[in-house]
């Protein structure tokens, strides 16, 4: 079974990044594309290489042996790929640290370890310290996210079970994905619904079970005039409105306080102390769940009940993923 596009790109990046010397195209084929030969390999390798370059990866070319200048190799220089030094204030650093802990993707760490193991098994000398500059920092919690992203890149149809907001039972859907976009705090797949023969948008958190990419690569073309974000704004549900009541620990939650309609200081919090404020919001932020979770133990939802349930559900999914990574 061919590796998915996302895995191939990551493996190629790792291979070129951890090498101290240029790697020949044939060596790359042997290790990462063993089932591809001739024109098929050339096409896939060139597409993957250009995909990485389009993402800002500085793939260098150079001779492998000074005595044979016609043999070209490839590598990624860690010095060229690394970000310049970044200076953060104390509060900015705290936010980044919290985001890293909450969103760190354990599956990427596992995949990276597996990729390095394969390179070592193939007899390649690696410098794993170079990987410190490409540690993942942000991921989606929806299990189908990677499938839709890879299918978007490979132009494959995705089959999945989907339960809409008004549907009692899930239905089988087939989508030619044009893109994956985040809108109003949620991830959506936008594309052409094969069975409905129409443009549709699907919220990834409503995909049930395992989504699968099926059929041939390059099975469809994305219309030139398509703007995925514009479609998301048009077809996705409007941002939530209504009233939300939160308890915020005193000295925290400044962004939420700024949007508050009223603040009642000195109320009893969930820990039984009086060091909390009751904050009432009537203009609910697009991703209030994420905002609450971003404040950790310093924020608590009093109402509405569905908001409290969603916060709890997302925390349970996070705990389950962390336990699975141990």
Q: Per-residue pLDDT tens for 8-62?
A: 888 888 888 877 788 888 888 888 888 888 888 888 888 888 888 877 788 888 8
The radius of gyration of the chain from alpha carbons, rounded to an integer in Å, stands at: 24
At 273 the pLDDT is: 92
pLDDT digits (tens, 9 = 90+) for 168-224: 788 999 999 999 887 766 789 999 999 999 999 999 988 999 999 999 999 999 998
Interhelix angle for 106-121 vs 5-17, to 10°? 60
Region 243-259: mean pLDDT is 86
Q: Is 130 helix (H, G, I), strand (E, B) or coil?
A: helix
At 132 the pLDDT is: 45
What is the C-alpha end-to-end distance of the chain, expressed in Å? 28
Average model confidence (pLDDT) for the chain? 77
At 44 the pLDDT is: 87
Contact status, residue 246 vs residue 299, Cβ threshold 8 Å: yes
Q: Residue 326: pLDDT above 60?
A: no
pLDDT digits (tens, 9 = 90+) for 65-95: 666 666 788 888 776 666 555 555 545 544 5
Region 268-280: mean pLDDT is 93
Euclidean distance between CA atoms 247 and 263, whole angstroms: 10
In angstroms, how far is CA 300 from the centroid of its own chain? 27
Sort residue 176 into left (φ over 0), alpha (ψ -120 to 50) or beta: beta
At 136 the pLDDT is: 42
Give the pTM: 0.42
φ and ψ of 139, to 5 deg: -150, 165
- Work out the pLDDT band at 238, boundaries 50, 70, 90: low
Task: Please classify residue 87 by burial: count the beta carbons closer than 10 Å to its beta carbon, then call 0-12 exposed, 13-18 middle and 19+ buried.
Answer: exposed
Cβ-count burial 102-128 (b if 16+ within 10 Å, e if not): eebbeebeebbeebbeebeeeeeebee
Which distant-in-sequence residues (6+ apart) come within 8 Å of 126 by Cβ? 18, 19, 116, 119, 120
Give the largest CA-CA distance in the chain.
Answer: 78
pLDDT digits (tens, 9 = 90+) for 284-305: 665 677 778 878 889 999 998 8
């Amino acid at each position: 079974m061919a590796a998915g596009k996302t895995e191939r790109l990551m493996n190629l990046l790792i291979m070129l990044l951890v090498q101290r010397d240029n790697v020949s195209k044939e060596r790359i084929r042997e290790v990462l594309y063993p089932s591809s030969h001739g024109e098929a390999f050339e096409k896939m390798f060139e597409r993957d290489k250009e995909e990485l370059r389009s993402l800002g990866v500085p793939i260098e070319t150079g001779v492998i042996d000074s005595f044979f200048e016609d043999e070209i190799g490839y590598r990624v220089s860690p010095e060229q790929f690394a970000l310049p030094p970044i200076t953060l204030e104390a509060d900015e650093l705290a936010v980044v640290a919290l985001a890293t802990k909450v969103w760190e993707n354990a599956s990427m760490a596992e995949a990276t370890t597996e990729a390095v193991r394969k390179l070592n098994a193939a007899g390649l000398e690696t410098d794993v310290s170079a990987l410190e500059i490409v540690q993942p920092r942000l991921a989606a919690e929806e299990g189908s996210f990677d499938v839709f992203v890879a299918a978007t890149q490979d132009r494959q149809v995705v089959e999945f079970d989907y339960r809409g907001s008004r549907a009692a039972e899930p239905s089988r859907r087939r989508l030619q994905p044009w893109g994956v976009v985040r809108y109003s705090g949620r991830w959506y797949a936008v594309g052409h619904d094969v069975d409905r023969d129409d443009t549709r948008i699907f919220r990834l958190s409503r995909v049930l079970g395992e989504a699968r990419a099926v059929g041939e690569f390059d099975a469809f073309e994305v219309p030139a005039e398509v703007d995925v974000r514009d479609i998301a704004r048009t077809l996705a549900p409007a941002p939530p409105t209504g009233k939300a009541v939160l308890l915020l620990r005193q000295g925290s939650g400044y962004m939420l306080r700024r949007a508050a309609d009223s603040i009642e200081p000195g109320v009893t919090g969930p820990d039984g102390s009086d060091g909390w404020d009751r904050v009432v919001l009537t203009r609910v932020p697009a991703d209030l769940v994420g905002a609450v979770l971003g404040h950790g133990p310093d924020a608590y939802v009093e109402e509405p009940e569905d908001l409290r349930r969603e916060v709890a559900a997302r925390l349970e999914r996070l705990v389950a993923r962390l336990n699975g990574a141990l």
